[in-house]
Structure 1
Amino acid sequence: MSDFPMLRVDAVDFVRDGNALLQGVSLTVRSSEHWALLGPNGAGKTTLLRMLGAFEHPTRGTVEVLGNRLGRVDMRELRTAIGHVDPRHTPRSPLTVHEVVLTGATNTAEPVPRWRPSAEQRARAAELVDLLGLAHRRDAPWPILSQGERGRALIARALMPSPRLLLLDEPATGLDLAGREQLLERVDALQRAHPDLASVLVTHHLEELPPGTTHAVLLRAGRIHTAGPVDEVITTEHIGAAFDHPVRIVREDGRWSVRAAQAAHR
């Protein structure tokens, strides 16, 4: 595993309208690490992810993304080197799966006028469509896709520029059980196929973490409650304290689940 830091957050505060959304946050994500960003609503997960994706500057402290310090780099240009998966992304026109994936080459929601993808870019898009299990839906228009198919198409889109960093913002939002499992299977396969890739996945639900998750950071009220190797962070004690609710954490076959603590006594 490489020691190269893909992300480095040092003593970061973020204040908006007089409200401290993040306080004293420090974090380092290295090549080949796959982090889960967890915490209750309002904990600061979205704010932190926007900084990691070069959409926000910290109020205090420093953030380095792929070796570039925010405030000293063109944020828009930096974002083209980051694979960002947002399930709320919606093309305005009825693009096909293949066309949506190709927009990842230009980092735009719609095809750029008069832009024509190269043969290599088309081949790359086809390869990613296949990797995410969508070859049979290659020419299907976006409006008729299931939520799970859209999620996998957006991951393929994020991978078009061959990023070293992948950010996934609640990618399983709105998926049924089958859709969630298909998505997680593809994320797990992706991590194995690209061993140098680093990723950060935001979720409220432990069941949505892929088996390849290596590290986790648990936020509470804008501060880091705990961070480190996943088995040291996702514990009954830490999860219960961060969410302020008695729970019991179960891990089986590389996957996590959570139960109310009372269930242990039934």
Structure 2
Amino acid sequence: MDGTTGDRHGRVVAALDGASLRRHTTGQTILDTVDWTVRAGEHWALLGPNGAGKTSVLRLVGATTFPTTGTVEVLGHRLGRVDVRELRALIGHVSTSQRVPQDLPGHAVVLTGHTGSVQPLWKKYDDEVRERARALLAELQIKELADRPYGVCSGGQRARLLIARALMADPALLLLDEPFNALDLPSREDLVDTMRHLALTRPRLATVTVTHHLEELSPALTHALLLREGRALTQGPITHVLTTEHLTTCFGRPVEVSRHGGRWLARSGVAGWGEGAARQ
């Protein structure tokens, strides 16, 4: 998938126009006049050092916080002029910090995505809704988790359950806040495959993924936004953004970026590192 996919679809899914965010108690600037547009079919990575403002951007487009200045539009609605409770129901959220009852079986976890609730609201789930949840479990290759308590699932299994849960609302926008956190290598690769599958089977779905490591980026990602100290450093098609020069500026230390088979790698750019490693 190339970086023009979103332009072919054209429809704006989310847009920040001069959006700034300040902490009310201290006046600290968290985001500083960020301009950013996400279109249908685009898959974005948000990258930057800790404290750069990645999660804050996600909260703005997820309609869970409001800008101090500037504007934010999501799914055609401007924050401050729409009932955000209704808007949030149209946005898929995936975060390892989500509250999920540990004894809830996988099928029930996915069902709660239909009502946007922590606990299942059983009277709200007819046969069609229950079958949709089972179909999503099968699609994401986790149907064996239908009866397994969430608390005993692995990190990778939990991440895919949360994605299935988010897809119950058939969202136009899917936001993933560090979904790879604490995953081992097989679980990470399973999740990368899941993200590739979603890009192929849902061509109009837009996704935004916050992560710290280039190795976690799916080949399906089309665009990237680099943040530093609350400002948008650079953004655009992923191959134009994820360069040695841009990553070095973003993280404030020498970084070497390479790509192989559609996957990305970032290493310390200390001179002679590669030669030394090769001799070992």
Same topology, TM > 0.5: yes
2:197 corresponds to 1:184: no
The aligned amino acid for 1:8 is A
- Counterpart in the other structure of 1:3: 10
Counterpart secondary structure, 2:9: coil
Could you list the structure 1 runs, at least 4 aligned residues long, displaced by more than 3 angstroms after superposition: none
Partner residue of 1:118 out of 114, 126, 145? 126
Alignment of 1:59-74 (within 5 A): 59-74=68-83
2:53 corresponds to 1:77: no
The aligned amino acid for 1:167 is L
TM-score relative to the length of structure 1: 0.97
Task: State the alpha-carbon separation in 1 of the partners of residues 166 and 67 from structure 2.
Answer: 24
Alignment of 1:224-263 (within 5 A): 224-262=232-270, 263=273
Counterpart secondary structure, 1:63: strand
Partner residue of 2:107 out of 82, 91, 98? 98
Q: Any idea what the Cα deviations from partners look like across 1:71-121, whole Å, max 9, x if unmatched?
A: 001111110000110111132351111000000001111113x52302111
Alignment of 1:17-166 (within 5 A): 17-92=26-101, 94-112=103-121, 115-166=123-174
Deviates more, 1:138-147 or 1:213-222: 138-147
Task: State the alpha-carbon separation in 2 of the partners of residues 196 and 116 from structure 1.
Answer: 28
2:24 corresponds to 1:14: no
Q: Identity percentage over the alignment?
A: 49
Task: State the alpha-carbon separation in 2 of the partners of residues 92 and 131 from structure 1.
Answer: 23
The aligned amino acid for 1:67 is G
Task: State the alpha-carbon separation in 1 of the partners of residues 275 and 16 from structure 2.
Answer: 42
Contact conserved, 1:93 with 1:110, CA < 8 A, in 2?
no
Task: State the alpha-carbon separation in 2 of the partners of residues 258 and 28 from structure 1.
Answer: 26
Q: Any idea what the Cα deviations from partners look like across 1:36-91, whole Å, max 9, x if unmatched?
A: 01100000001110011000000000000000100001111110000110111132
The aligned amino acid for 2:17 is D
User: What is the total number of aligned residue pairs between the two structures?
Assistant: 265
Task: State the alpha-carbon separation in 2 of the partners of residues 120 and 33 from structure 1.
Answer: 30
Task: State the alpha-carbon separation in 2 of the partners of residues 110 and 184 from structure 1.
Answer: 28
TM-score relative to the length of structure 2: 0.93
The aligned amino acid for 1:121 is V
Partner residue of 1:205 out of 210, 213, 216? 213
Q: Any idea what the Cα deviations from partners look like across 1:155-174, whole Å, max 9, x if unmatched?
A: 00000010011000010001
Deviates more, 1:196-205 or 1:91-100: 91-100
Q: What value does the CA root-mean-square deviation take over the aligned residues?
A: 1.0
Contact conserved, 2:13 with 2:74, CA < 8 A, in 1?
yes
Task: State the alpha-carbon separation in 1 of the partners of residues 46 and 54 from structure 2.
Answer: 7
2:225 corresponds to 1:214: no
2:274 corresponds to 1:264: yes
Counterpart secondary structure, 1:115: helix
Contact conserved, 1:131 with 1:186, CA < 8 A, in 2?
no
- Counterpart in the other structure of 2:3: none
The aligned amino acid for 1:109 is V
The aligned amino acid for 1:168 is L
Counterpart secondary structure, 1:26: strand
Task: State the alpha-carbon separation in 2 of the partners of residues 213 and 6 from structure 1.
Answer: 16
The aligned amino acid for 2:209 is L
Task: State the alpha-carbon separation in 1 of the partners of residues 33 and 39 from structure 2.
Answer: 20
Counterpart secondary structure, 1:190: helix
